Amino acid sequence: MTLTRKRLVILAAVILAGAALGRLAMRAALNLLLGGTLFGGNFL
Amino acid sequence: MWGFIYAGAFLAAFAASALFKMTYDPTGGKYTVQWDGTVGTIHTDLPYGEGEANRFDLYLPADAGRESYGLVVYLHPGGFTGGDKSGDGEMLKWLCSKGYVAAGINYTLFGEAHPDANVYTQSAEIRDSIPFVLAEAERLGYPIDRMAAAGGSAGHTLAMLYAYRDAGTSPVPVKLVFGAVGPSCFYLEDWINMGADPHHPKAVDPSGDYSGMAGLFYAMSGKEITADMLADGSYLDAVKDISAAMWVDENSPPSVHAYGAWDRVQAFAASRRLDAALTGHGVPHEYLVFEHSGHGLQNDNAMYALYMEKVEEYLARYLG
């Protein structure tokens, strides 16, 4: 695997992690204010 | 350089995902209307009383000239202390697009300016507003012969009080009530579990200090409620006037209600009593529990879509 390819794979992983954590953080904040479970329910 | 790219990409994905979670519409825009003159017209801030808040908006469908119309009153949320009818514009426009006359009604909010306002006085204002709404609709060429009461959160409570407690005073028959997350009754054993695990409720402690809850019920009802009244159960008489579930009987209108099981803002357990009352009296209804959500119904998209489908179905079936 070339260095550029490795960097692109890492970039994709970083974007996926950011998206998952962003959603979880917002969900946690809303749950804190309004109530709710963190991992149940819809994915979106 | 790649370090900065990684950090930037992470932050962008984080922010975009959080924003998406906040703004995602599980119905795919089905209930959003592109508003223009072909859908209807809006008349705002029409008076129904002497109070500054005694104003309503009317959404009139474009197909004028029918013999009669169904009215849907949709009451705004805000914890009885905030909010405005303009916040429900999207819902009111959708209802109007379905051919109903829709009305958003403001009521006097509890606060420094109006310390005597409470759920009871607000429900009385809504009750007193309906003849004005009907008269104005008729004056504008939209005679009303049936209606539905609806709302969100605090507005849901006021809608239920009108439908279950005050429907007998209504100038036109109340055919339907729908809404989400509104407190339906005020039993101590329900409210001490507000925000707690709904599957493992705690019992009332006979030696516990519930003076805070007495104060809350006092503020909501406008009637003095003491810790002693909580202990001997006499507080239930004092909160009956603001407890819609206690007014349900066999004549109550068909209903669609949605609640979040993990609600931190009002007592989810109270909604179970509402469901039991409707079931016990044979009232056609839908009781939709969002098992993973709180007051915002924010974690159960499929249930939210189902709720709106049921609202649409009940509107067609019972309001015509």
- ipTM score: 0.92
Residue with the two structure tokens 């098992």: B291
- Asked whether residue A44 carries a pLDDT value surpassing 80, the answer given is no
Question: What mean pLDDT is predicted for residues B121-132?
Answer: 98
Residue B210 lies in a domain: no
Question: What mean pLDDT is predicted for residues B32-47?
Answer: 96
Contacts of A41 in chain B (CB under 8 A): 291-293, 299-301
CA distance B28 to B195: 30
Residue B237 lies in a domain: no
Residue B207, pLDDT score:
86
Residue B195 lies in a domain: no
A38 — pLDDT class (breaks 50, 70, 90): confident
Question: What mean pLDDT is predicted for residues B254-276?
Answer: 97
pLDDT tens figures, B203-220: 998 888 999 999 999 999
Question: What mean pLDDT is predicted for residues B300-313?
Answer: 97
Residue B1, pLDDT score:
86
Contacts of A10 in chain B (CB under 8 A): 6
Contacts of B26 in chain A (CB under 8 A): 42, 44
CA distance B320 to B162: 20
Question: What mean pLDDT is predicted for residues A17-28?
Answer: 95
B4: contact with A, CB 8 A cutoff: no
Does the distance separating the beta carbons of A23 and B20 come in below 8 Å?
yes
Would you state the torsion angle of the CA atoms of residues B258, B124, B120, B267, taken in this order, to the nearest 10 degrees? 0
Whichever domain contains B260, its CATH number is: 3.40.50.1820
Question: What mean pLDDT is predicted for residues B278-304?
Answer: 97
B62: contact with A, CB 8 A cutoff: no
Average pLDDT, chain B: 96
Residue B211 lies in a domain: no
Which letter does DSSP use for residue B109 in this model? P
Closest C-alpha among B13, B23, B19 to residue A21:
B13
> Which residues are registered as beta bridge partners of B69?
B144
Highest mean pLDDT among A14-18, A36-40, B230-234: A14-18
Question: Any idea which of A39-43, B77-81, B290-294 has the lowest mean pLDDT?
Answer: A39-43
Q: Find out whether B56 and B71 touch, Cβ atoms under 8 Å.
A: no
Residue B8 lies in a domain: no
Residue B293, pLDDT score:
96
CA distance A27 to B148: 33
Residue B221 lies in a domain: no
The count of domains in chain B is 1
Residue B208, pLDDT score:
87
Does the distance separating the beta carbons of B17 and A26 come in below 8 Å?
yes
Strands B144-152 and B255-260: unpaired
Q: Percent of chain B at pLDDT above 90? A: 92
Domain that holds residue B73: 31-188+243-319
- Asked whether residue B195 carries a pLDDT value surpassing 90, the answer given is no
Residue B252 lies in a domain: yes
Closest C-alpha among B152, B24, B34 to residue B84:
B152
User: B17 vs chain A: nearest CA distance in angstroms?
Assistant: 5
Does the distance separating the beta carbons of A19 and B13 come in below 8 Å?
yes
Q: Percent of chain B at pLDDT above 70? A: 100
Residue B227, pLDDT score:
87
pLDDT tens figures, B72-88: 999 999 999 999 999 99
A9: contact with B, CB 8 A cutoff: no
> Which residues are registered as beta bridge partners of B20?
none
- Asked whether residue A40 carries a pLDDT value surpassing 90, the answer given is no
- Asked whether residue A1 carries a pLDDT value surpassing 80, the answer given is no
**String of DSSP letters for B110-128:** PSSS-TT--HHHHHHHHHH
**String of DSSP letters for B190-246:** HHTTTTS-TTSPPPP-TT---HHHHHHHHHHHSS---HHHHHHTTHHHHHGGG-GGG
The two counts, helices (H) then strands (E), for chain A are 1, 0
Residue B208 lies in a domain: no
Helices B119-139 and B211-221: crossing angle, nearest 10°? 20
B197: contact with A, CB 8 A cutoff: no
Does the distance separating the beta carbons of B6 and A10 come in below 8 Å?
yes
Residue B309, pLDDT score:
97
CA distance A40 to B51: 45
